[in-house]
């Protein structure tokens, strides 16, 4: 089904893509680093096709809704029928355009979070004296390492399917990974292998460094989280309580604020403003969470 969708996208928009492909060149490294297994031309075709489908579907939906289900003023009808499909199509276009970047960042985050433990495991495996490629073959069986496991599978694919040497396979994945730390470690393994150095000692040093950086990152985030907790207490606990207390006192006197009665304003704060702000704060914490 997906392959058919890709082919249809290229058939419909192939000529348009060829004309404007240079405008989408900045996406190419993100698509490669995100390990999306799709060419830039194909992704741009799917982007155009999906945007067109969202435009058509949203136009039909709003047309049926405003024509047969509810009655609105004529100018609102015209504005909605024109604006809503364009708005939906624009959102879809932006989401699909940014998806490779988001996917790349997600891969980088997974690699950075699992790297200290994967490197420690690799050092333990290397101490048994087995060749480098078998270290990564053993890592393919540990799904808890996330994207490091996926990259290990790609390394073994390069060796077993494409016939690459272990050095060339590691260099290939080093060029694709979005994590600079993992890239440096892979190239360090390559350099150690080519120079005949002590692989166990190298991996142990990298594991110690990665674990140290992990602890520093964890402590830094905990301090930042403490600051966020103070801000939350001040803005979303203490301030609303003081405001509601003040409004409760004002309700005895009466009057309006910005055209709203005191009771209406209290309901607005309690049932709209506070839930929206708390939801926004939770989303912010989720976005800034480093996964440590």
Per-residue confidence (pLDDT) for residue 13, from 0 to 100: 85
Q: Where are the alpha helices (DSSP H) in the chain?
A: 2-20, 28-33, 40-64, 74-126, 132-139, 147-160, 166-176, 180-195, 199-233, 239-253, 262-268, 274-288
pTM, rounded to two decimals: 0.77
Percent of the chain past pLDDT 90, that is, above it, reads: 47
- What does the block give as tokens for 116? 């200290």
Q: Which residue bears the tokens 């155009």?
A: 48
CA–CA dist 263, 270 (Å, integer) = 10
Alpha carbon 24 to chain centroid, angstroms: 19
CA–CA dist 120, 20 (Å, integer) = 47
pLDDT band at 6 (very low <50, low <70, confident <90, very high): confident
Per-residue confidence (pLDDT) for residue 292, from 0 to 100: 52
Tell me: pLDDT of 145 over 80.
Answer: yes
Tell me: pLDDT of 291 over 70.
Answer: no
DSSP letters spanning 190-227: HHHHHHT--HHHHHHHHHHHHHHHHHHHHHHHHHHHHH
Tell me: pLDDT of 73 over 90.
Answer: no
- What does the block give as tokens for 106? 């997600």
What is the average pLDDT score of the chain?
A: 88
Q: Could you tell me if 262 and 247 are in contact, meaning their C-beta atoms sit under 8 angstroms apart?
A: yes
Per-residue confidence (pLDDT) for residue 286, from 0 to 100: 81
Tell me: pLDDT of 136 over 60.
Answer: yes
Instruction: Report, as an integer, the average pLDDT of 154-183.
Output: 92
């Amino acid at each position: 089904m997906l392959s058919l969708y890709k082919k249809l996208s290229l058939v419909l928009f192939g000529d348009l893509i060829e004309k404007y492909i240079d405008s989408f060149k900045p996406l190419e490294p993100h698509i490669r680093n995100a390990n999306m297994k799709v060419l830039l031309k194909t992704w741009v075709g799917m982007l155009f096709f999906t945007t067109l489908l969202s435009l058509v579907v949203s136009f039909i939906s709003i047309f049926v809704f405003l024509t047969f289900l509810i009655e609105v003023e004529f100018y609102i009808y015209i504005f909605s029928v024109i604006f809503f499909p364009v708005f939906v199509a624009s959102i879809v276009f932006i989401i699909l355009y940014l998806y490779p970047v988001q996917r790349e960042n997600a891969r980088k985050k997974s690699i950075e979070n699992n790297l200290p433990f994967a490197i420690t495991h690799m050092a333990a495996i290397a101490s048994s004296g087995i060749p480098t490629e078998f270290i990564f073959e053993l890592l393919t069986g540990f799904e808890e390492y996330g994207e490091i496991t996926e990259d290990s599978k790609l390394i073994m694919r390069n060796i077993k399917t494409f016939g690459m040497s272990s050095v060339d396979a590691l260099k290939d994945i080093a060029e694709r990974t979005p994590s600079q730390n993992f890239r440096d470690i892979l190239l360090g393994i390559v350099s150690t292998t080519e120079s005949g150095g002590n692989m166990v000692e190298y991996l142990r040093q990298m594991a110690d460094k990665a674990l140290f950086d992990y602890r520093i990152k964890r402590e830094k985030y905990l301090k930042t989280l403490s600051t966020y907790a103070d801000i939350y207490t001040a803005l979303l606990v203490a301030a609303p309580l003081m405001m509601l207390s003040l409004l409760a006192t004002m309700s005895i006197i009466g009057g309006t604020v910005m055209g709203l009665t005191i009771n209406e304003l209290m309901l607005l704060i309690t049932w709209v403003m506070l839930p929206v702000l708390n939801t926004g704060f939770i989303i912010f914490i989720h976005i800034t969470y480093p996964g440590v």
